[in-house]
Structure 1
Amino acid sequence: MAKPQSRYVCQECGAVSAKWAGRCESCGAWNSLSEEVVEKTPGGLSGAGRSAQRLAFVDLQSRSPAPPRMTCGLGEFDRVTGGGLVPGSAVLVAGDPGIGKSTLLLQVAARLAAGGKDAAPCAYISGEESIDQVRLRAQRMGLGAAPVQLAAATAVRDMVATLDQPKGPAVVVVDSVQTLYIDSLESAPGTVSQVRAAAQELIRLAKKRGFSLLLVGHVTKEGQIAGPKVLEHMVDTVLTFEGDRGHHFRILRASKNRFGPTDEIGVFEMTDGGLEEVANPSALFLAERRGNIAGAAVFAGLEGTRPLLVEIQALVSTSPLATPRRAVVGWDSGRLAMVLAVLEARCGLALAGQEVYLNVAGGLRIGEPAADLAVAAALVSAATGQEVPEETVIFGEIGLSGEIRPVSQVELRLKEAEKLGFSRAWVAPRAKKGAGKGRPQSGGLVIEEIAHLQDLVSRLAPPQADPVGFRSSAP
């Protein structure tokens, strides 16, 4: 019998070392190396042969149809996954504690199991709650009669023995992967070794039996998915569930998807009866907006194929500190520093000694450069005290020289703004013929093109600028 050998695995990054050390050489974490016992397989490498197939189809008759996707009826979830769940796929859903991951997947499983003639048998395996606790949550959400099979287990060996059946469930939800353990490993559940081995065994079984595997993943205090980075490589789709506990809506976003786009988002509203999908997120994010307020601007963004209108709020105040504060919520702080620098260097707006606070209302996080012009409008409005004209939507990218650059999908953004009742748009100059400055669109939306950031400042600056807000002369 081969003698077992020991290796030491870092519980932070997953690096493997032949001997123990107080500090990991890969990530620099202290006291993170844990011992694992590896048993060598006796004999040489041997296995069953596999026949290879061509990449291209030989003829049309040999083409096998793609397996149909399983849609749960939640349009926002089906949109983010690319049109539904693919049989044999593995999906990882990660998010902060209490954000609603378990609630969302329980609703998905209940809808799939009660789908009428297209119903798919579903199993919900919880490693954090008992069966009675899951039932109580399902009854509170009105899903007590859903034909979902419930189980409470954390041992991967028991789960594999239950699921490895010819007529097993079509969808399996495991909540969560950090609670699973394999008894052949000596490390505790949630460690890098256990998470990697447990996920690998369940994904292998999902590919073998053809059921869709939905894994719930925890996140660390830094916002990263807990466990090894290889976990994100092993699964087919990685979904992140975002949101602020101070707001009642949640954002489901795909950061990896082998069967669909990665730039789509799903918007849900948290209610007493669970999560409800939001058909028109723009109206939700602008529901509490108040007009005629300095420091507020409406941005027409784009998430995948969906236009999204949100309000950007800015506040500029005098700072008693030598280094004024720059606080950003929902946007890139480096991008804010660039916009502030361009406003001061190209437009003469003195904000170096002012405290600047920027917030994207509703808890949404914006990542596209098209928000530069709306952020600049909110900042200038807050600094000068002049309100942005009501029913005006703004979008455009700012260059370092102060020029405004066009962005993609302009017509889609304008159509969404017109649908919500906006009558004016400040955008970058467009090369299209017949779309000149001040020319109305087919529905009456007036387009005002802004070529340089100085044009925006002149629109929002009072007739006699405050000497505190502006320098004596602009370059």
Structure 2
Amino acid sequence: MAKPQKRYVCQSCGSVSHRWQGQCADCSEWNTLVEEAGANVTPFHAKHNLQGGGRMIALSALDSEVALPERMPSGVAEFDRALGGGFVEASATLIGGDPGIGKSTLLLQAAAKMALAGRDVAYVSGEEAADQVRLRAQRLGVGNAPVKLAAATSVRDILTTLSGARPPALLIIDSIQTMHSDLIEGAPGTVSQVRASAQELIRFAKERGTALVLVGHVTKDGSIAGPRVLEHMVDTVLSFEGERSHQYRILRAIKNRFGGTDEIGVFAMETAGLSEVGNPSALFLTHRDEGVTGTTVFPALEGTRPVLVEIQALVVRLASGATPRRSVVGWDSGRLAMVLAVLEARCGLSFLSAEVYLNIAGGYRVQDPAADMAVAAALVSALSERPVPIDAVAFGEIALSGEVRPVAHAALRLKEAGKLGFERALVPQAMAGDGGGLRTTGFRTLGQFVEYMLGR
């Protein structure tokens, strides 16, 4: 238990003494030492003082010139785009995703291409046997790649093996939840084991200059399983998203210390593995010659990449007394409720007795607030059975007051729409004018936009 430390301070000169005495030893004044309460002293504090005994560290100026970290291209352009240009030496990357989404397939393809390019790559699988990984590599057509392969779960065995030779340029651990450290007790996958195993692997990567990739399991709500500190320990966190019933997969950067966040890479799952999609806008659009009610094209923005997606809405009138249903796929259900409320309160439209279904085509997930106006256009089109012009795109953020607010990076959105043959854009009033080759129609309020959609 901590015990208080007594000290006596001279009221004349401020000298401190650990015992009382009649005369101050420094100023020779009498009866000036007064007891004062000191700090509590624990046995640890008495023996360990961190203000001394360490080594001096070098402090550099913020504006000092340093070389930028070199990138190691993975050979998969969409993968490099999400990483910010490629792997960085001595970096740690965590990639998570649902089971069977294609994490191991993507990493095996990238490892094979890097190995064929002359890089030293090691792939350690804790979930599959080495023969299973070889069979997958043969199916993907990369069975001849000189990738060093092992099936192990002991962190001590892995680091002992890698420390005895030249460290690899890229080390893939599939997955971190299967690794086990004998320094602490606990089964693989527990919070303490995941944290300890990741810490040892990251320390090895930082000391030996190896780019480390950790595969992480996800929970039922989509977040990476294990301690939250795992995402803080690594330099980059990637999320591999998509529906297994759909062909397309999206690799999204959630955290990146060496590049921008919210960058995405788009892949298509095929028989021979994952193939890159250079123009994702063409994949999420339905090609038709005439307009269809309830559909709107929205130019979404993922980082610096514009992606055109199709928003589909269906409004079904019900008999009186029935409870209407609201179903959303690929968008925030709370955001849909807000748009419906604004349409009813500010524009005089009624959705109280109608079921509303909203879908983002192609399994894409939209998180951009600029989708409000496109969703409103699809809802008004489905309710009035008047199609949105087939050559038009719509974007803008809707406020609760009914105002249509401008959004960021309008030029990129309009440029992408123009590349795919669109001629008109329905945008906020503040952004009308320079459409980059497209005819823009601006709206100050959502009420004006509804009047335009209804042809009034």
Count of aligned positions: 408
2:326 aligned with 1:326: yes
The DSSP-based 3-state class of the residue aligned with 2:283 is helix
Q: Residue 74 of structure 2 is aligned with which of 67, 72, 79?
A: 72
Alignment of 1:16-165 (within 5 A): 49-56=54-61, 65-115=67-117, 119-165=118-164
Alignment of 1:260-409 (within 5 A): 260-287=259-286, 291-319=290-318, 322-409=322-409
Deviations 1:270-299, CA, capped at 9 Å, x for gaps: 111111111111011115567421111000
3-state SS in 2 of match to 1:430? helix
User: 8 Å contact 1:166–1:209 — kept in the other structure?
Assistant: no
Question: How far 1:165 moved relative to its partner?
Answer: 3.7
Distance 2:306 2:338 in 1: 25
1:446 aligned partner, one-letter code: R
Query: Which residue in the other structure is 1:455 paired with?
Result: 448
* Residue matched to 1:258: 257
Distance 1:398 1:340 in 2: 11
The letter of the residue matching 2:445 is H
Aligned to 1:430: 430
- Residue 222 of structure 2 corresponds to which residue in structure 1? 223
Amino acid at match of 2:108: L
- Paired residue type of 2:253: A
Question: TM-score scaled to structure 1, two decimals?
Answer: 0.82
Q: Distance in 1 between matches of 2:60 and 2:391?
A: 54
Q: Is the 8 A contact 1:386 1:462 kept in 2?
A: no
**Cα drift, residue 183 of structure 1:** 2.5
Look up the SS of the partner of 2:430 in the other structure: coil
Q: Distance in 1 between matches of 2:62 and 2:287?
A: 56
> What SS does structure 2 have at the residue aligned with 1:300?
strand
CA-based RMSD: 2.1
- CA pair 286-81 structure 1, distance change in 2 beyond 3 A: same
Report SS of the residue matched to 2:70.
coil
* 1:329/1:358 contact within 8 Å kept: yes
Secondary structure, in 3 states, of the residue corresponding to 2:88? coil
Distance in 1 (CA, whole Å) between partners of 2:113 and 2:420 is 32
Query: Identity across aligned pairs (percent)?
Result: 61
- Contact kept, 8 Å, 2:411 with 2:436, in 1: the verdict is no
* CA pair 67-48 structure 1, distance change in 2 beyond 3 A: farther
Report the alpha carbon displacement of residue 431 of structure 1 after superposing the two structures with TM. Answer: 5.9
Q: For 1:425-452, what per-residue CA distance to the aligned partner results, in whole angstroms no more than 9, with x for missing partners?
A: 11111367x54xxxxx564x21111222
Q: Which has the larger radius of gyration?
A: 2
Secondary structure of the corresponding residue to residue 224 of structure 2: coil
Q: What does the per-residue CA deviation read over 1:166-189, in whole Å, with 9 as the maximum and x for residues that have no partner?
A: 512110000001111123433211
Distance 1:296 1:48, change over 3 A: farther
Residue by residue over 1:13-57, the C-alpha shift from the partner in whole angstroms, topping out at 9 and shown as x without a partner, is xxxxxxxxxxxxxxxxxxxxxxxxxxxxxx979999444112217
| Cα distance between partner residues in 2 of 1:166 and 1:45 | 40
Question: 1:289 touches 1:311 (CA, 8 Å); kept in 2?
Answer: no
Question: Larger deviation: 321-330 or 307-316?
Answer: 321-330
Change beyond 3 A, Cα 1:265–1:132 = same
Q: How far, CA to CA, are the matches of 1:99 and 1:124 in structure 2? A: 19
Correspondence for 1:194: 193
The TM-score normalised by the length of structure 2 is: 0.85
Q: Are the aligned partners of 2:191 and 2:226 in contact in 1 as well (CA < 8 Å)? A: yes
- Gap runs ≥5 in structure 1: 1-42, 436-440, 464-475
Q: Say which SS state the counterpart of residue 363 (structure 2) adopts.
A: coil
Amino acid at match of 1:324: P
Q: In structure 2, what is the equivalent of residue 178 of structure 1?
A: 177
